[in-house]
């Protein structure tokens, strides 16, 4: 265990991810003090009742003052505005990061407002659930999961040190850390997370619009496969709206490829090409086994709840 790494952590936006970070940082003794800044009165009241922070404020500029680690955990399209509010009040030398599910446009939005004397290091923990808000967080959320950091081009050795320190923080929270460039992150997440969510939103929408099958029947017989899509399609609408707006190019790229493959499948079904179907289903089964072998399956037996990864 690394012990205390930062004197004061500020989390801006204390929902599922923000509150999980403060819980993990506290449990593992990674920071001296914790400040939460959140514009929502309801969230601030719950953070105070749950005893998650040493100080809670609705004012971002006040909240980031004096912190050597600031993490923005707000919806993707709110990152730039949150950084703009913080910018004039960040301590020189502070590490400033985020947890947004898209990295290219978010990195640009952060940099558009960042002062020169802080270290901006975008990040994304690939861990989550379909629940939102400060009550939904838990300290073990990041255990064994991956956090991807997408450092910006910067030759300064002090920047590399800051990346190493932020990596140590995430490892202290239980995560494994990988570094990659933002464009690659956005392509990988488009296929592993964003497209699966789009498919889930679409199939649940189609089922609810289908003539000849009642909504009651869809729910009653959901164990046939549909219910797994309903869990994903229950994810926060604001968060997912923002992700598709912010990762448009990569999502459209993988969606084009997916549509072609789906059409090929449809053709195989139409022409009774049973071998083709069997070959694909055999290949995909092996991928599922690989996911389980890597300990990244969505059901988390230790905590008795499902975990989606965004
Ligand atoms: P969440 O539970 O809804 O929490 C977001 C928090 O940010 C809420 O307290 C919200 O307050 C607050 N907020 C909203 N707009 C804000 C603004 N303009 N300025 C400051 N605070 C604002 O969401 P979450 O699931 O933790 O997601 C937060 C971030 O983590 C997103 O960028 C998401 O892409 C990323 N992420 C999510 C997951 C996941 O599985 N959920 C996984 C990895 C990364 P209100 O309640 O008043 O809106």
CATH of the domain at 206: 1.10.3660.10
Residues 156 and 198 in one domain: no
Residues 193 and 141 in one domain: no
Segments of the chain assigned E as strands = 6-12, 31-37, 55-57, 69-72, 95-98, 119-121, 123-125, 146-149, 176-179, 299-300, 305-306
Residues 195 and 146 in one domain: no
- Note whether residue 298 is domain-resident: no
CA distance 209 to 90: 50
For the whole model, what pTM was predicted? Answer: 0.92
- Residue 192 tokens read as 């592993």
- Note whether residue 167 is domain-resident: yes
Residues 237 and 279 in one domain: yes
61 lines ligand 1 (CB under 6 A): no
Residues 159 and 260 in one domain: no
CA 109–ligand 1 middle distance (angstroms): 16
Q: Along the chain (310 residues), what's the average pLDDT of each consecutive run of 10 residues?
A: 94 98 98 98 98 98 98 98 98 98 98 97 94 96 97 96 98 98 98 96 91 84 88 92 98 98 97 96 90 73 40
- Note whether residue 154 is domain-resident: yes
- Note whether residue 302 is domain-resident: no
Residues 128 and 266 in one domain: no
Atom of ligand 1 nearest to the CA of 235: 41
Atom of ligand 1 nearest to the CA of 126: 43
Give the range of the structural domain holding residue 74, as residue numbers without chain letter. 6-179
The structural domain count of the chain equals 2
């Amino acid at each position: 265990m690394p012990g205390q790494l930062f004197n004061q952590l500020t989390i801006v936006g204390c929902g599922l991810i923000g509150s999980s970070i403060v819980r993990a940082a506290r449990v593992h003794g990674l920071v001296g003090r914790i400040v939460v800044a959140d514009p929502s009165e309801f969230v601030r009241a719950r953070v105070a009742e749950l005893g998650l922070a040493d100080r809670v404020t609705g004012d971002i500029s006040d909240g980031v003052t004096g912190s050597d680690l600031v993490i923005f955990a707000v919806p993707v399209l709110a990152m730039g505005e949150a950084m703009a509010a913080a910018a004039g009040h960040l301590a020189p030398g502070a590490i400033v990061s985020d947890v947004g599910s898209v990295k290219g446009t978010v990195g640009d939005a952060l940099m558009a407002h960042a002062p020169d004397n802080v270290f901006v290091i975008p990040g994304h923990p690939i861990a989550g659930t379909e629940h939102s808000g400060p009550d939904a967080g838990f300290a073990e959320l990041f255990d064994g999961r991956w956090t991807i950091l997408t450092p910006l081009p910067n030759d300064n050795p002090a920047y590399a040190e800051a990346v190493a320190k932020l990596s140590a923080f995430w490892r202290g929270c239980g995560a494994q850390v990988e570094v990659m460039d933002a464009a690659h992150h956005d392509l990988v997440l488009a296929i592993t997370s964003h497209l699966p969510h789009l498919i889930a939103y679409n199939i649940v929408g189609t089922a609810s619009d289908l003539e000849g099958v009642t909504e009651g029947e869809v729910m009653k017989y959901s164990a046939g496969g549909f219910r797994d899509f309903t869990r994903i399609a229950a994810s926060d609408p604001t968060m997912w709206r923002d992700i598709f707006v912010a990762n448009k190019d990569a999502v459209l790229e993988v969606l084009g490829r997916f549509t072609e493959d789906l059409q090929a499948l449809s053709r195989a079904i139409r022409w009774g090409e049973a071998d083709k179907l069997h070959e694909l289903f055999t290949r995909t089964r092996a991928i599922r086994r690989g996911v389980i072998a890597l300990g990244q399956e969505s059901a988390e037996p230790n905590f008795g709840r499902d975990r989606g990864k965004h």
